[in-house]
Every structure is written in structure tokens, then in C-alpha cells.
Structure 1
Amino acid sequence: MIIPFLRDDMQGSLMVTVERVDDPAAIGKHSSARGFPSCTAVVNFPGRGYRALFGWVQMVRSTDNSSAGSTFDMDPFYLFEDAPSPYAFFGLNPTLFDAPSRDRRDPLNWTAHSYLAWTPMDDTERRVLPLAGFSWGFDIAPDRSITLQPVRTLSPGNWDAHLPYLDTTYPRWSFDTWPS
């Protein structure tokens, strides 16, 4: 899926691919990850230097999370899960990559909301401004089969629904509503 976005009057796009993991070792995963999804979202943007700095905010709702799937939780990159930043990845045109899996194949519903955002460098506060978002995930059925959820573009309302949680979770950051 290709998702367009606009920043500083420049057109960019995300190339999002979700595919079934056939060779877990090729992506650095254990063999138990076979059949689970991997997601890659590549940023294509003509800006350079600081104008190409973006971050990925990803939240997950899963029936095995702290709320048993009733709410979304942050999904930080595990090396930085204790860092006080909402970004799982950040950099120059950063690629989002995620390959969630479970050792056991118990029934499960797992959905991610992944958002490309940016933080202005000239502000006195740390602000997150959303640009584009998509949903993806997987389900494990009682027969242990894994179904990949289709990639769907998210709307401003989806982002805005996460704002109370983001504000509470990252009080040193501010989160803008999705621009119209």
C-alpha cells in the first residue's frame, strides 16, 4: 500500500508491506516466528537533513496486553522501552520494521496503529505532529492458524482517539491533532 502525506508543502509517501514470515532467520527471528507477519514501512520524502527527520509512534491493542485487548498500549522498540519518548524509531526517513510473534499459538487478536510523525526542531517544547497512519496486525484462531489483517489507512479520528493516552503516558511531550 502507498500512503501519501504532506509536510512543509512537500509531498511524501509511505510504502507499506505486510507479509507472512517464511524464513524467520532471514529477519533475525526465532523459528517460532514462522507464519507470523512482518511489517515494513519505507518513507519516501524529498526533504533533506533536518527536514527529513521523522519518527514512528506505534500502539498495539492485543488480547494478551495489560487491558486484555480493550485498549491500546505503546509498542516501543524493546531496546528503548524505558526511554521517555513516544517514538519507537526516529531518524532521517526512518523505516518502520516490526515482526511480532509469540512462542505459543494461543487464540489472540493483535492490531497495531502505526503513525509517521515529526517534531519541530525550533519549538521550545517537544511536540509530535502526525502525518500519516495505518493499521495492521494478525489473529490466531483456536486451531492455531494465523491470519494477517489487511493494511488499512487510519483517519484523523483514529489518531485523535489516542491523544488522552499519549498525553498521560508522555507528559513531557505535547501531541497535536491530525491536521486537516
Structure 2
Amino acid sequence: MALQHPIDSPASEPQAQTLQVILTPPDRGQITVIACVRTNHDPAKYGFDILFPDTPLDTFRGFPVCEAYVHTQKKSGYASMYGWTQLVKDSLSDSKTWEFDYIPVSKELNWPFCWFGPEPTLFDGPARVNVSDLDWTARSFLTYIPDTLLSKRISHVLGFEWGFVIKDGQITVKKLISLEAADWNSHVEYFSGKFPGWTFMPHLN
């Protein structure tokens, strides 16, 4: 069965990095997750002209763009509900520790997801203007609610890390790497304190 959200082959784009995982969460059936990190050569393609209409588009070239797709092969509907949550660490922030990466429209909400729904797609295109030195890293986690929509219990599926470095104004996209269950578990306490009323389940091997 063909994926509903195909990603162009990285062979045609040498700077693209792709990670594919096939696994079976409990009671959900088999899913395929494909994550891809590309260098942003076309900011208009990714909507930067809408997000920042007063900033020259060339400002955003060279930064990474991350897309991750979920395809459910055996069950759809309520069983295809998943959520992406993301932490970021920024060398210029005051804390310099992992913090939840809010989407601006949800910042005042007690909502732990960046993207949520049936077969949700993660998209992120971080960029910085007038910054000459910066180390920025994201940890993106795919999660699900075991009863799909009824409770505030979150279980971990998988995670990956990506980011970029600016050194003397030059941008380097970091390597896309897969994370382990222990990485999720190391953030459970933070998530639980950040989002009262939600229960973040440790991943038990």
C-alpha cells in the first residue's frame, strides 16, 4: 500500500535526511513514520511569505525544515489519532535546558501537542534573524492517547532529534538522529509539571 504522505527521495536532494520507522503501538495496528529534515532553499514553498510578510525571504534560506508523516496501515478513524509534541534547547535562552515548543496560538492553553489528529503531520521551520551564533536543537516525539480522545493520558511511540548551528553567520543543519525510549522517559517529569491534569506515561521496555 502506498503511503498517503510520500516524501521525495533524498537521492534527488543530497542535503535531505530521512528516517523511516515501522512499528505497532498497542491496539493500533502497524504504522509507518517517516521523518525528513531538509535545508530550506525555497522559503515561499513553506509559507514564510505568509508568516513573515515584511521580512525578505532570503533571510530564511539555509535553515532546516522538518516534516514527519504518520501512516496507519491497519486501522484508521479514532485509531489513527496521534499527537506530536516537541522540546527545544537554545544556546541563547536563559535556561539553556529543554523546554516545550509552543505553537503561538496555543501558548495560553494547557495543551501538550504541537500537532494532533488523524495521521498528523509534524512541520517545523525554525529560523533566526540577525543572529550570528546559535546552537538550536529539537526533540520531536510521536505520542498517542490510549483511549484516543477520552482521557488525558499520553503514551510514547518514538522520537528523533534534529536542529541547526549558526557559527559566524554560517548555518549548518544538524544530523537527524533517532531517540531511545530512555530519552522520552528523561522528559516525563518535565512534561507532567508543565501540563497539570495530564499524565505522561514512561515507556516500559
Q: Structure 2 vs 1, CA of residues 9 and 54 (structure 1 numbering), >3 Å: closer, same or farther?
A: closer
Q: Structure 2 vs 1, CA of residues 13 and 179 (structure 1 numbering), >3 Å: closer, same or farther?
A: farther
What residue identity is the alignment partner of 1:21? N
> Which of residues 52, 56, 79 is equivalent to 1:51?
79
Match of 1:101 in 2: 127
Match of 2:22 in 1: 4
Q: How does 1:27-106 map to 2 (within 5 A)?
A: 27-29=46-48, 30=52, 31=57, 32-46=59-73, 47-67=75-95, 69=96, 71-106=97-132
Match of 1:160 in 2: 185
| TM, length-normalised to structure 2 | 0.82
Say what the alpha-carbon RMSD is for the aligned residues. 1.6
Cα displacement string for residues 133-174 of structure 1 (whole angstroms, at most 9, x for unaligned residues): 100100111x21111111111001100110111111012100
Shift in Å at residue 66 of structure 1? 3.6
**Structure 2: unaligned runs, 5 residues or longer:** 1-18
Name segments (4+ residues, structure 1) moved above 6 Å. Answer: none
Q: Structure 2 vs 1, CA of residues 132 and 90 (structure 1 numbering), >3 Å: closer, same or farther?
A: same
Q: Which moved more, 1:9-18 or 1:132-141?
A: 9-18
**More strand by proportion, 1 or 2?**
1
Shift in Å at residue 72 of structure 1? 0.4
Q: How does 1:96-175 map to 2 (within 5 A)?
A: 96-121=122-147, 125-141=151-167, 143-175=168-200
| TM, length-normalised to structure 1 | 0.92
Shift in Å at residue 177 of structure 1? 0.8
Residue pair 1:60, 1:75 contacting (<8 A) in 2 also: yes
Shift in Å at residue 12 of structure 1? 1.1
What residue identity is the alignment partner of 1:6? T
The structure that has the greater radius of gyration is 2
